[in-house]
Amino acid sequence: MPCTSNRLIDCNGARANAFWQEDFARLPGASPRDSVYVMKTISYVLYREDESIVAQCLNVDVSSFGATREEAVASLKEAVELYFEGESGDAYTAVSDLAVGEELVDA
């Protein structure tokens, strides 16, 4: 069963408090006033780094941050929309079967 949600979820028994999905509207060159405005779903991970919450998009190489989860997500959505202003629709990669893992490595 795919592990995607718009809320905190538990993936395969491991607490995945970082995966969320948001609907986001963007067609290169389009704006909310245009008649052609396509909805896309972005998948992202939230994690704490020092004093900030980082939001990393999994569909395009874009990340942002905020003091709260809500600020981080709002900032990420804005950053992704700005990213698509100069990109073709081919820049978006759909992802599925999301999971969060944690492993020890020799570093």
Please say whether the beta carbons of 20 and 5 come within 8 A.
yes
- Nearest-angstrom CA–CA distance, 8 and 48: 15
- Nearest-angstrom CA–CA distance, 3 and 11: 6
Phi, psi of 11 (to 5 degrees): -105, 120
Tokens of 86: 């100069």
Q: In this structure, are strands 52-57 and 63-66 parallel, antiparallel, or unpaired?
A: antiparallel
Tokens of 88: 């073709």
pLDDT at 40: 84
pTM of the shown model:
0.65
Question: How buried is 71 (Cβ within 10 angstroms: 0-12 exposed, 13-18 middle, 19+ buried)?
Answer: middle
- pLDDT tens for the chain, 107 residues long, are 344 334 333 333 333 344 555 554 445 555 555 545 577 889 999 999 999 999 999 999 999 999 999 999 999 999 999 998 877 667 889 999 988 899 999 99
pLDDT at 69: 96
